[in-house]
Amino acid sequence: MPGELAIALTAALILLAVAAVVVAVRTRRVVATPTERAVHAALHTASLAARALRQGLDTDSAKTSAPFLRELTGTDGLALFGGDGALLARDPDDDAVWPPDVRDACDGAARQSISGGRRVMTHARTSAVVAQPMLTETGDLLGVLVVVTTRSPGPGMLGAVGEVARYAASQIELAELDASRARLDRAEVLALRAQISPHFIYNALNTIASFVRTDPDRARELILEFADFTRYSFRAAGQFTTLSDELRNIDRYLTLERARFGTALKVTLRVAPEVLNVVVPFLALQPLVENAVRHGFAGRGSGSIELVARDEGSDCVITVEDDGVGMDPDALRSGPSDALSAGDAEPEGTGAHVGLTNVDHRLRAAFGNDYGLVVETAIGAGTKVIMRVPKFRSGVRASGGGFGVGAK
């Protein structure tokens, strides 16, 4: 019996040892080399600095990014100056690092760097000062990065300061490009608003007026639809919206057009529910539908359009098709605007055609060249415009909501 107990205990100990080894193997962490850890730390610090600098260079972004930039340079202190020489931030906030003589030396070095567009080195009583201009690839000055060190600046430190200044400049330049793109987007939306056909507005008001005496309730409904349509189209905020909001406004537009044309205008809408929350550029569908209505009625007394929004994997595909006179496919070579204006019999169509090019540019700017408009047409076979948008794109969000209130 004692022998069996000893064997059992030995077996148990062996099993515990094996289990411990297995657990240790499965849970052990791979220890990176010092070089790998240093690279990882530098990349992480650079990403933290970039997050602030991508907002542009101002007091807030300078204060946030300065500690990370100082860590990258390995110096005792770092200051950021704007392109006009104004001090934006110092790090650390420690008077021992920034005595009056060091502050004066930094201010003077920054001014010299701005005026000369080059690196400036000088000395205070206990510290060396290096001012490095932050320049774009084309040589435009964005600001100055100034470092303070109690060591003698060697080639390694000077190289690091230069690279950090170059990196900071690239992030600030990207912020300015983002701001320029946002301004361009706002300008294009304003252009689309200006292109909403004055003929449509005139005809809509005339149609409403015709119902005032014969059918006051119908006139009242149309006035509300017209008010909601214009309120949405001229809203102040947001470059993007949801497909559901765009479709709601399209329904208002078509309600007004059907009141004008009656049964001569046939409209078919087929929308997959799962794509209703997809984000699209604001006023992206209006030019497509308005062009289809005009194109479908060109030279005819009736017409039909079909709008389909369907789910295609990672994308949402929207098509607007009319059964109008169509056009020569060769005309498409010069782009959507020229192509669609080529068989237009109505002078009022120009704005919508320019609007299609506007939408094409905005789609490509927001989502890439794979997401431009595609136009399919043939003489006598109508026209189909296809718009493809990703169901999700990082950084693209709907804004300016609340304008769908009042929809039917």
Q: What is the CATH number of the domain that holds 111?
A: 3.30.450.40
Residues 134 and 267 in one domain: no
Residues 207 and 327 in one domain: yes
**What CATH code is carried by the domain that includes residue 349?**
3.30.565.10
Confidence check: pLDDT of 184 > 80:
no
Residues 203 and 347 in one domain: yes
337: CB partners within 8 A, 6+ apart:
353, 354, 356, 357
Report the percent of the chain where pLDDT is more than 90: 40
Distance of CA 249 to the CA centre of its chain: 23
Residues 208 and 126 in one domain: no
Cα–Cα distance, 282 to 66 (Å, whole number): 37
Predicted confidence at residue 405, as pLDDT, reads 36
Residue 11 domain-assigned (yes or no): no
Residue 343 domain-assigned (yes or no): yes
Cα–Cα distance, 43 to 249 (Å, whole number): 46
Residues 173 and 235 in one domain: no
In this predicted model, what pLDDT tens digit does every residue of 112-133 receive, in sequence order?
999 999 999 999 988 999 999 9
User: Domain end: 124, 143, 178, which one?
Assistant: 178
Residue 160 domain-assigned (yes or no): yes
Assess contact for 390 and 367: CB atoms under 8 A. yes
Predicted confidence at residue 2, as pLDDT, reads 52
Residues 146 and 243 in one domain: no
Residue 402 domain-assigned (yes or no): no
Residue 259 domain-assigned (yes or no): yes
Closest CA to 236 of 405, 56, 366, 402: 402
Cα–Cα distance, 121 to 127 (Å, whole number): 11
Ramachandran class of 364: left when φ > 0, alpha when ψ lies in -120 to 50, beta otherwise: alpha
Residues 171 and 218 in one domain: no
Query: How distant, in Å, are the alpha carbons of 17, 18, 19, 28, 30 from that of 25?
Result: 12, 11, 10, 5, 10
Provide the domain count of the chain: 2
State the DSSP string of 307-362.
EEEEEETTEEEEEEEE-S----GGGGGG-HHHHHHTT---GGGHHHHHHHHHHHHH
Residues 152 and 260 in one domain: no
Residues 151 and 248 in one domain: no
Residues 165 and 108 in one domain: yes
What is the domain range of residue 109?
Answer: 37-178
Predicted confidence at residue 181, as pLDDT, reads 66
Residue 170 domain-assigned (yes or no): yes
Residues 269 and 132 in one domain: no
Residue 157 domain-assigned (yes or no): yes
Residue 379 domain-assigned (yes or no): yes
Predicted confidence at residue 168, as pLDDT, reads 93
Q: Which tokens sit at 290? A: 């308005």
Residues 201 and 153 in one domain: no
Q: Decide which of 32 and 219 is more confident.
A: 219
- What is the reported pTM? 0.54
